[in-house]
Every structure is written in C-alpha cells, then in structure tokens.
Amino acid sequence: MRCHLDDKNLLVLDHFISNSYKTGDCLRGDTMEILGSCRLDLAAYYLQKLHNCAHTDRKMRVLFLVHEPSLWDKQEYVYDLFAADDMVETTLVLLSSYNAIDAAEHKPAGRYVDKTWHFFHDRYPNVFDFTNVIDLNVFHADYIFLPTPYDGLRPLRGTRTSELAKIAKICYIAYGTQGSKFFIQWETELAPFFAHVSVHFCDSEEEQTAMEAAYPDTVAAGVQHFEDIGYPSFEPYLEYRCDPRIRRRVLWMPRWNTEANIGGSHFLVYKDAFLAFARKYGSETLEFAIRPHPFMFDNFIHSGQMTAQEVTDFKAQLAAYGIVLDEGQYSVFEVLTSADILLADFSSLNMPFFLLDRPLIYCPNDNELSDDYKKMTACSYVAETWGAAERYLEQLIRYEDPLAHQRRGIVEEFRAKHIGAAQRIADRIKRDFAESLHPHTACLPEIEQRLFEAKKTLVSLIGRNSDLLPHFCEQKWYPLYLEMLSMHPWSDHFVWGEQQILVKLKELYATAVEREHRACLTLAMLLFADPLILSVPLEIDLFPEGLYTDLREAFAEQRKELGIG
C-alpha cells in the first residue's frame, strides 16, 4: 500500500497546491502546528539516518567537545579508556569560554580563558581549539561527547546539537546529577538537545524511565538509547581512602540562585550566622571554608541582591576570620575530599561528597528530591533552619554522628551500581560501533509521515504565492525550509509520494505565466530534488538577497555527503 497517496489523495493534493493562500507570515493554526512539531521529527530523522548508515571495518573515532575543567570529570574516565585503546582514535576539541552570565549579557563568543586553555593543552596531546578547527567534519567522528545540554553556551556556528547530530552520533553523560524531580521533568522537556542525542548515559533508573517515556518512537525503533549503567564521576569518590586528619574542615557550599524550584540558595539568610559560628569554633583542629557556586556572587550582583561592595566586604570578613574562600582555584575532587563535614544547599556535588561516607548537613527547599537523593538525605542531617544547622554542626564537631551506620549502608548500595561505570560506558559505545558494521534498518513510519505532511504544507505556502518571493527569507518557516532540503525519505512509498508531488509541480510550472510564479514553484521543487536534476532553471535574479547563497550551501553539503563535487 502506498501510504495515503492514491489517486484520490493526489487530487486533494493538486487542489491543496493550486488554491490561493495569503501572503506573508499569517498562517493557519493547523499549518503552524504541523511546522512547529517538525523540529523533533527532523531530529528523529537524523537519528535514523545515522543508525542506518553502515561504516567500514576500521578504528572507531570518538571526539570530545570540552568546555570547563570543572565539568571534565564526567567524561575524563571514559576518555582515558578510549585513549588507551588501540582500536579507538580520540580527539579533544576545546570550545571557547562562555557561561550563563556571558549569555545573559549577550557577550560575543570566541575568547579562551588562559587557565582553561592550559588545563587541557598541558595535559593532553591531541587538543584542538574549535575556532581553529572551524568545521568538526574534518575529524570524521563516529561519536561526539558533549559537555552540557545547553546550546546557548555553544553559540558559535557548528557547535549546536542540531548541527552536530548530522555528522556523528551524539553521546551525553550528564554534567551533574539531576537530584530533584523538577530537574528530571525539565530534562525531558529539553527537546532541542535530547531529541538529537543517540546515547544518553543516565545517572539513575528514575531518569532513564522518564527519558524513555519522553521519546517513545525513537527508543522503540532502536535509534536512541537511554542507559542506566552507572555514573563515572562517582567512581573516584567511592574509591577514595585517606588517613584521619589532625585538622578537620567544615565546608559550606551555598547555591547561586534563590529561586526554590532550581535549588534555593540560603546564602543571603545564613551568611552572617555562618561567619559568627566559624569565628566561635575555628581552631587549630577545626577550620572553615566556603565554596560558593561559581555564578553566585556575579548572579547576586546582576540580580541586585548584593552590591559589588557588599561582596568585597564579605570576602574581607572571610579573610579576617581565617575562613578559606575557594573560588575555583581547586578542583571539585580536591575540594570535596578535603572536607570532613559539608553544609550545603541543593547541589549535584552533594552526592559525590556523600559517597565519601562523610556527614552531610542538607539545607532543603520545597523542591521534591529524586529517588536517589531521597536515599541520600534519609541518612543525612536535614536542617530546615539555621538553628537546626548549627545544632548539627556542633554535634558533628564533637564526633557525634548517629547516622553513620545507616549512611554506610546506602553508600555500599551506590558502590555496587557505580563502580565500573566508565568501563561499561566505553564498552557500550564499542558495542554500538560493532553493530553499526551491519546495522538493522530502523524504520520510523509515523515520523516520516509527519515530515511528508510538513513538506506538503511548505509546498502549499510556496508554490502559488508569488507575492511571497521578495520576503521569502523573512518567513518564520524559512529555517525549516532549508532543513527540509536535505531530508529524503527511507520508505519506498514516501519516495514514490515525493516523486508524484514533483511531477505535479512540474505540470504547474509548465502552465504558469508569471516568472515570479515559476520561481516559487522551483523553490517548492527543491524540497524533492537537487537542482542538478531539475529540467527547469533557477531564475535567481528574482530571489531576495541571501536566498541563493543559502541554497548553494545546503546543496553543496548534500553533494559532499554523496561524494559529488
């Protein structure tokens, strides 16, 4: 059966194309709905395309896009295993330094922080700067590991997830554990990123279940995978051992934002009390330290919750009281392993500290925790107020730790799951590469159907509306049109359907009187054929500025992929 494209439907399609429609961007609601949902379907299309593309019997190529040293420990142990494997070629590409504050202030991207640049270039032999690479295609990677899910922190062209998913299978190890049900739910809605990810290594079964439910079609087709096989950055904490220290350390880690749903920082409420407590109890056998979130002070200044002078004064008080201020001069591992007691807001760093089997005083907000974090807090000291936090601190300073036995049991439970995670991740990617020598052909008929309908919708917008031509590049759907130029169906019935539409467009072209009308019809034809095989010319003198340049780029990329030119 040729999937909804019999003679009756071709007559409907003929009517659909031939009827007039309004100029400009005022589209019907159903039209916008079809085009709006198309982004996710395009992501699924590229997942399918990469899955179905067999490779030759050769070494596997894995590229790691790296950003900040503080995030590297999530990928580092997997990279080390690949780098030591003779059958794997590994490459590191360093992105320019760009953070959330830079994005909020609309700063230009392209700057490299010296400390970050040297961290990677001084440690590894095969590091390239992205601005020098220009096009990641040069590495012919099979897999690309991304450091975060935030395209906004990768503003340079050629680094966005939707671009990278066209050239390699995207892999992701979360840069931080989710910790709350809000963040797990938020992650399922981060479609611009996760819709393009071929393999996401989850940190919990709860996260895996939620992500699989968010992408049922691609998971069922076997082109997208959400794996719960352990979190590699937990391993060094579970393996860490040290002798008791003469001088113990109490570490405070306040969050950067006071909004409850994303963590709820207690810093502004507790800062004076913490200073007083440290001043009272600090001694030769007990020191205090604070490691604020890297964005905290800048965010409080930016939001007007503190002035720059108030931040300066607070730092001066820390120095006067002998409290160590860590603003990123130490690695996360160094910071956490040097602490004996942790006082913390919600943070993805709470779990690695907990896995050291050391007491955590957790300052909660109203956000519901994930299942794993509930296990953690069940054998931690939960302080709803500063008074409670102070009592727990005094108790732990006296070496009274009544939850130690219960905590140790949960740590052992997590140990069984997470030890060996990096090896299992490396093995999972190698298994996927081996299967890709002779991949089973994945089919996504419902997604192909929706993409086919979206192309028909674009044809209806373009094919008769000659008044649209001068404003073609200004339409909301123009980026989607360019994306659709490289989208070609796998299933025979959709291939046949596209051919029928092309035949109908050619018939309309033959009867068209105005050059502008014919130009619009050729633009519609490009959705189904390379201009090289069209029997009609692209009359580009009628095209608005930039349109022909975009078309040249789109088809040059297609032809390069096909080995033409």
Write out the two tokens for 160.
């966005």
Residue 328's region, left for phi above 0, alpha for psi from -120 to 50, else beta, is left
- Give the model's pLDDT for residue 38: 82
Q: What pLDDT was estimated at residue 16?
A: 41
CB-based contact 55:437 (threshold 8 Å): yes
Tell me, what amino acid is at 195?
Answer: A
Q: What's the pLDDT score for residue 495? A: 92
CA atoms within 13 A on the CB side of 523: 32
What residues contact residue 357 under an 8 Å CB cut-off, 6+ apart? 404, 407, 408, 411
- Residue whose C-alpha is closest to residue 140's, from 256, 39, 62: 62
170: helix, strand or coil: strand
- 378 three-class SS: helix
Tell me 263's DSSP state. T
468 Cβ contact partners less than 8 Å away, ≥ 6 residues apart: 23, 24, 461, 462, 475, 520
> CA distances (Å), 330 to each of 26, 80, 150, 335, 338, in order?
55, 21, 25, 6, 10
Maximum C-alpha span of the chain: 93
CA 295 to chain centroid, in Å, comes to 20
What pLDDT is attached to residue 205?
Answer: 94
- Cβ pair 78, 232 in contact under 8 A: yes
Confidence (pLDDT) at 22: 36
pLDDT > 70: what percent of the chain?
A: 93
Which sign, positive or negative, has the C-alpha torsion 21, 24, 30, 34? Answer: positive
Q: How far is CA 210 from CA 196, 203, 232, 485, in A?
A: 16, 12, 21, 33
What amino acid is encoded at 119 in this protein?
Answer: F
What single string gives the DSSP state of each residue in 275-344? HHHHHHH-BTTEEEEE---TTHHHHHHHHTSS-HHHHHHHHHHHHHTT-EE-SSSS-HHHHHHT-SEEEE
Cα 25 to chain centroid, rounded? 31
Both structure tokens of 53: 């593309």
435, 454, 438: which is closest to 446 by C-alpha? 454
* Per-residue pLDDT at 110: 94
pLDDT at 17: 42
Tell me the backbone φ, ψ of residue 354, rounded to 5 degrees.
-55, -40
438 within 8 A of 480, measured Cβ to Cβ: no
Residue ranges of the chain whose pLDDT lies below 50:
1-28
